[in-house]
Amino acid sequence: MIKFTDNDKLDLDLLQIQDVLDISILQKFQDNFAESMNIASVTVDKSGQPVTKPSSYTDFCLNLIQSTSNGTSRCAESHRRGGEEATRLGKPYIHVCHAGLIDFAAPILIEGKSIGTMLGGQVAYSKVDESSLRRTAAEIGINADKLVEVSNNVYTISEKNVRAAAEVLFIVANSLSIIGYESLLVGMSTKNLSENFGQISATMEQLAASAVNVSNNQHLLNEEISRVKNISMDINSILNSIKSIADQTKMLGLNAAIEAARAGEAGKGFGVVAAEIRKLSQDSKETASKITDLTKKIQESVDKALETSNSTFETTEQQTSAIEEVSANVQEVSVVADNLSNMVNKK
């Protein structure tokens, strides 16, 4: 499983060769290389465990040297040392194995970190020394005569060709691993991009919904302001009626005062009432005028509020439209990111 550091970067120390390389493709390349070059090959992870099947292994190694646990462990130790030295050098390392054959290790590196090694060899520059073979046979417990006999079938090759073969493995394996690693990074980036755009899209949808609510509320506010304006106009109409009634009442009071004066002493009490009526009529008219002035100011404020509200309503409608457009664009980009992520994951 791919691991990440605290800052969401790939942890290269935990990266495995299977994370960046298609093992089936690697196996096919390895098989073709071994057959064409007549050089045995196998790929191991950074712990030394094989991740591919051995290609073109010789009878010398497979059926004799590795036929005993002692021989197998000595081969493993030889491969380990070769792989460590290749990793240290950052390039192929050619060496003589414990049984006297030529082996090499081509490190597979990601940003200087080892994720595995391609091992090759089981060849010789010349005929292997017989005394050395018999000594090895005795040490690992196999038939010396048989080992000497099989050694005659070991493929001999020049040092130049071995170096060229090791370079080919190194270049191809590392090119494939870099492609796989970059593909992995692209896949991670597109996945993160897709997730981020998904979050942005959800946020934009919420903003769009909120903007619609604001727009609807603004529309309702406009209606309420218009209603207040209409009520103010109704109040003015009523106040005009009150003024008219006050004028009429004043005229009645004046007529009553005239009649009371004609009545002399008997009409004095009625005259007082007539005077109070005229005074009440005048007060009512003055109060109505004051209320008219106030309602006029209210209407002016309402008109300004309505004008501002209409402007705000237009702005919110434009914002809603813009948010919906941005949300649609974000969704389109999110779909593209998803498609890209799927393409990368199908590698």
Alpha helix positions (H), the chain: 17-20, 23-37, 59, 69-89, 130-140, 144-151, 159-263, 268-345
User: Which phi and psi (to 5°) does residue 114 adopt?
Assistant: -80, 135
The pLDDT mean for the chain works out to 79
Look up the pTM and report it. 0.61
User: How many Cβ atoms sit within 10 Å of the Cβ of residue 323?
Assistant: 19
Q: Is the pLDDT of residue 171 over 90?
A: yes
Characterise 111 by phi-psi region: left (phi > 0), alpha (psi -120 to 50), beta (else): left
What's the start-to-end Cα distance of the chain, in Å? Answer: 17
Using DSSP's 3-state secondary structure scheme, residue 41 falls into: strand
Report CA 142 to chain centroid distance, whole Å: 60
Quote the pLDDT of residue 284.
Answer: 65
Burial class (CB in 10 A: 0-12, 13-18, 19+), 253: buried
How far apart are the C-alpha atoms of 120 and 223, rounded to whole Å?
85
**Spatial contact of 107 and 114, defined as CB atoms under 8 Å apart:** yes
CA atoms within 13 A on the CB side of 282: 8
User: Which phi and psi (to 5°) does residue 346 adopt?
Assistant: -90, 10
* pLDDT band at residue 233 using 50, 70 and 90 as cut-offs: confident
Quote the pLDDT of residue 151.
Answer: 92
In Å, the largest CA–CA distance within the chain is 167
Distances (CA, A) of 99 to 65, 71, 268: 8, 9, 150
Q: Is the pLDDT of residue 6 over 50?
A: no
CATH class of the structural domain 12-157: alpha beta
Q: Is the pLDDT of residue 186 over 90?
A: no
CATH class of the structural domain 194-345: mainly alpha
| 60-80 residue pLDDT tens | 999 999 999 999 999 999 999
Q: What percent of the chain has pLDDT over 70?
A: 65
- Stronger pLDDT, 323 or 346, i.e. the higher one: 323
Q: Is the pLDDT of residue 90 over 90?
A: yes
Q: Where in the chain is the domain with CATH 3.30.450.20?
A: 12-157
**Long-range contacts: 32-38, Cβ < 8 Å, 24+?**
33/165, 33/168, 33/169, 33/172, 34/120, 37/165, 38/123, 38/155, 38/157
Q: Where in the chain is the domain with CATH 1.10.287.950?
A: 194-345
* pLDDT band at residue 1 using 50, 70 and 90 as cut-offs: very low
The three-point CA angle 338-344-347 to 5° equals: 145
CA atoms within 13 A on the CB side of 224: 7
The three-point CA angle 138-142-144 to 5° equals: 65
